[in-house]
Amino acid sequence: MNLPVGVILAGGQATRMGGGDKGRLMLGQQSLLEHVIDRLRPQVSSIILNANGPKERFSDLNFPVVADSLHGYAGPLAGVLAGLDWAFENGAEFIVSVAADTPFFPEDLVDRFLKEARGMETPLVLAATAGEAGRIWRQPTFGLWPVALRHDLRKNLENGLRKVVLWTDQHRGREAIFETDVIDPFFNVNTPEDLLEAQGLWQQDDLGENA
């Protein structure tokens, strides 16, 4: 399997942050979005950004910017669909989605996805972490998605589906489980308090080397 296209999901409304582009908030000397790009770039064949509104505000990044194709805010699956459509038009078979506000996600994310997908007729994998009593917490904005399912996803979204795991369960999706011993790799910044916590996490151990 070739390396997938990386899709950064930045189409959220950021209501708990007062609106705006949450990925532009600063963490150390870089924005959240720049941290995400640095982690994603070595793992994928190329990167696109899913964001709604004027594309010009991301011109400094030099990445294709694709908007949701569905009217209204349909959640992260709409961004996944936009990424799948772009990948199809550009000859790719898979995408990997990541969130624009999650600066600590694993540097082996894609490798783990590809290993978990082995043997699957239609590879579809979500990231997950293990909780208490063996409970698995799936991370619906981090996934390996096949272009072959884009029509099915569009149909489900048009019929009102919004929960990621309901759709992945339909297709017997798997989970790649990541450890959270030192830090939750999928910690995301939703509120000003989260950003302060992220600053503290960034300064821990080796995470603060470039702060």
Task: List pLDDT tens digits, range 115-160.
Answer: 999 999 999 999 999 877 778 999 999 999 999 999 999 999 999 8
Q: What is the CATH number of the domain that holds 125?
A: 3.90.550.10
Whether 146 and 94 have beta carbons less than 8 Å apart is answered as: yes
- Pairing mode, if any, of strands 174-178 and 30-31? unpaired
Residue 24 CA to residue 18 CA, distance in Å, equals 13
Residue with tokens 């705006």: 20
Whether 24 and 60 have beta carbons less than 8 Å apart is answered as: no
Tell whether 180 is covered by a domain. Answer: yes
What integer pLDDT is reported at residue 18 of this predicted model?
46
Whether 25 and 195 have beta carbons less than 8 Å apart is answered as: yes
Confidence tier at 1 by pLDDT (50, 70, 90)? confident
| φ, ψ for residue 106, nearest 5 deg | -60, 140
Where are the alpha helices (H) located in the chain, listed in sequence order?
32-40, 76-89, 109-116, 150-158, 164-170, 192-202
Tell whether 183 is covered by a domain. Answer: yes
Please give the tally of structural domains in the chain.
1
Tell whether 102 is covered by a domain. Answer: yes
Tell whether 19 is covered by a domain. Answer: yes
Whether 135 and 145 have beta carbons less than 8 Å apart is answered as: no
**pTM score, whole prediction:** 0.90
- C-alpha 57, offset from chain centre: 20
What is the rounded (10 degree) CA torsion for 112, 116, 119, 120? -110
| Residue 107 structural domain | 5-206
Tell whether 211 is covered by a domain. Answer: no
Task: List pLDDT tens digits, range 15-73.
Answer: 444 456 888 899 988 999 999 999 999 999 999 999 998 999 999 999 999 999 887 77
